[in-house]
Amino acid sequence: MDFRKSDSPDEYYKAVHQLKQFLSESDSSDQQIYRSGLKASEIRCDLSSSENSETKSLSARKALFKSPVPKKSGLLIEGNSSDYILTGMIQRQIIYIKALEKEVSFYRKQVPGIISEAKVMISNEESNRMGQANVVTQRLFSLIDTISNAKFSVSHESCEIQRKKVLQDLAGAQQQIQVLNQQWTEHTCWNGQNKSKTSEDINISREKSELLSTVNMLRSTVSGLQQREADALRQVQQSVEVAEQAQLERVQMESEVRRLVSLVEQHEQQITTLNADHSRRLQEERTRWELKQVILFTLAFLLKLVILAEQTSALKRERDLRDEALTRLSLDLEQSQRNEAVLKNEIQIKTNLLDSSRQDFQRQISQMQSEQGRLAGQQAELQRRLGEAELRADLNCKAAEQEANSVRVEAEFLRRKIDLLTKEAENRKQDYDKAIKELEQRNLELHLAASQREDERVQAVKSGSQASSLVKYLEQREVSLLHSLQETRKQHDEKCREMTTIIDEQRSIIQTLKEEYAALIEDFQKSLVTNDS
């Protein structure tokens, strides 16, 4: 199982780069919006009285901006995808580790039974072989005793009968020896396979224990790296949330500025319409007054021309008419003056409202500038934190890579040592095979001795004088063969003891290496804890 560096750091760096671009773009757009707002505030002049309630709603909206903002950015979607990739990798690793643990538990359950069965079969084979060898040796000794105790004064026919019986017994003994040799060869081959199997099982168990230890160590390192990546992603998400909140505030401020600009334009249009109405009304009043004066002068001239005789009555009537006209004109002038005063008051009120709205707008702009300064300070703090987080992540990655390299070097050293031990075991196995071949040669010598003994017995039957010397020679040869068999058994036992001592030494070396590896893992975890703190 290969735990290599995943794609999560690249995605993390991409997310950080996108966040920096997003913050720089938001800063430039904020500056442009504030500049356009200032220019619009300098160009626009008049606002209506309804803006007092609107300024209150604006302050209420600013207070509401501190609430959390929904997460709708593509950057967060990328963070979620990277988290999904990491969780998928970790789940696959967990499944593989569980499968390894199941295999190890199965082998641990099966290996002791196989070893016990092999031991039982080996002991049964040894007991059967020893029993058959004892039977054959007893028969040989009985034959030798019968030959030595035989009387040479018997007749030739009885000697022939005994010779046939002895030949039959020897043929049966030879067949039994061949069967025993075949069983011995099969037993040695099977025993060598069992030893190789047991050595392979030991190697498998040792490799699986090492794999489990490495898997546990890598699991701990993966959990630590995952925790660090989660912390970094959490910080990035918080910074993104703050940036999105600032962007939403900026968008809302833009909409508010646009609404204020539209209101200013509406108020300008209303003021222009009011001025136009006022001038139109004044012009109409002037035309009416001029027309009335013209009509009065024409009427007076006509009355003077028509009613010259009735001057007194006409003068009285004219005076009355003039008085009435003057009163009407005075009333009209007073009404027009009143209308002018009312319009002047309205214009004064609207100019005052425009001044107050202008002051409110300037105050809002100053508040927005202070808010912009505060957001810039928060942005600088977030950038500083991001730089620190990136430095920590780089340092942690370098430390993890160094520890992984050291662990790989130690694993390579252990593998080389295990290869040397396996080569030594193969050399011992070759020596053991040589000893088995020597035993087979000794068995062949026994066969040859038996055939020679048979020939010698035939000669003993022919020549009775040489029988005693041949019997002694055969006894000496059998004693020497027994001594050689005992020596080969002793050598075989000594080699088995040496192999057991070598295996025990290898186990002790492996145990010490495991302890050193566990100590290294503990030191690595302590160093990780100190780095996190």
Cβ count within 10 A of residue 16: 21
Q: Enter the tokens of residue 374.
A: 């505060």
Whether pLDDT at 43 is above 60: no
Burial tier of 306 (Cβ tally within 10 Å: 0-12, 13-18, 19+): exposed
For residues 31 and 253, what is the distance between their CA atoms, to the nearest angstrom?
A: 12
Report pLDDT digits (tens) over 103-121.
777 767 776 777 777 677 7
Q: Is the pLDDT of residue 331 over 80?
A: yes
Chain centroid offset of residue 186 CA: 54
How does DSSP classify residue 466? Answer: G
The CA-based angle 504-509-515, given to 5 degrees, is 125
Determine the pLDDT at residue 279.
73
Report the pLDDT value the prediction gives residue 87, as an integer from 0 to 100. Answer: 74
Give the pLDDT confidence of 348-376 residue by residue, as tens digits: 887 787 777 778 777 877 787 787 788 77
- pLDDT band, very low/low/confident/very high, at 58 (cuts 50, 70, 90): very low
The Cα angle at residue 237 between residues 231 and 239, in degrees rounded to 5? 105
pLDDT, residue 254, reads: 72
pLDDT at res. 63: 42
> Residues 287-311: pLDDT tens digits?
877 787 777 777 666 666 666 667 6
**DSSP annotation of 153:** T
Could you count the other beta carbons within 10 Å of the beta carbon of residue 245?
A: 16
The pLDDT of 452-473, averaged and rounded, is 63
Whole-number Cα distances in Å, 456 to 174, 352, 382, 469: 17, 151, 109, 10
According to the model, what pLDDT value does residue 270 have? 74
Q: Is pLDDT above 70 for 470?
A: no
Mean pLDDT within 165-173: 67
More confident residue, 511 or 485: 511
- pLDDT level of residue 6 (50, 70, 90 thresholds): very low
- Comparing 4-8, 14-18, 297-301, the range with the smallest average pLDDT is 4-8
pLDDT digits (tens, 9 = 90+) for 435-445: 677 767 776 77
Which of 356, 312, 273 lies closest to 52 in space, CA to CA?
Answer: 356
Of 200 and 45, more confident: 200
Three-state DSSP class for residue 319: helix
Q: Which sign does the torsion angle of CA 218, 219, 220, 223 carry?
A: positive
Per residue in 247-293, pLDDT tens? 787 677 677 767 776 776 776 777 777 767 777 877 787 787 778 77
Instruction: Tell which wins on pLDDT, 461 or 52.
Output: 461
Question: How many C-beta neighbours within 10 Å does residue 445 have?
Answer: 14
Task: Give yes or no for residue 88 having a pLDDT over 70.
Answer: yes
CA-nearest of 124, 221, 134 to 177 is: 134
pLDDT score, position 135: 73
pLDDT at residue 79 tops 60: no
> How high is the pLDDT of residue 512?
78
- pLDDT tens, position by position, 360-417: 777 877 787 787 788 778 777 777 877 776 777 677 667 767 766 776 776 677 677 7
Confidence (pLDDT) at 152: 43
Please tell me whether residue 308 adopts helix, strand or coil conformation: coil
Residue range 319-347: mean pLDDT, rounded: 80
CA–CA distance from 364 to each of 252, 263, 280 (Å)? Answer: 14, 16, 38
How confident is the model at residue 102, as a pLDDT?
79
- pTM beyond 0.75, yes or no: no
Q: How many CA atoms lie within 13 A of 280 on its CB side?
A: 6
Residue 356: alpha-carbon gap to chain centroid: 60
Percent of the chain with pLDDT over 70: 50
Residue 389's identity, in one-letter code, is A
Structural contact between residues 514 and 506, judged by C-beta atoms closer than 8 angstroms: no
Query: What confidence score (pLDDT) does residue 467 get?
Result: 52
One-letter-per-residue 3-state SS of 384-424: HHHHHHHHHHHHHHHHHHHHHHHHHHHHHHHHHHHHHHHHH
Lowest mean pLDDT among 179-193, 211-225, 383-397: 179-193
Given a cut of 60, whether residue 198 has pLDDT beyond it is no
Rounded Cα distance, 411 and 418, in Å = 10
Element housing 108 (H / E): helix 74-149
C-alpha to C-alpha distance for 22 and 240, rounded to whole angstroms: 9
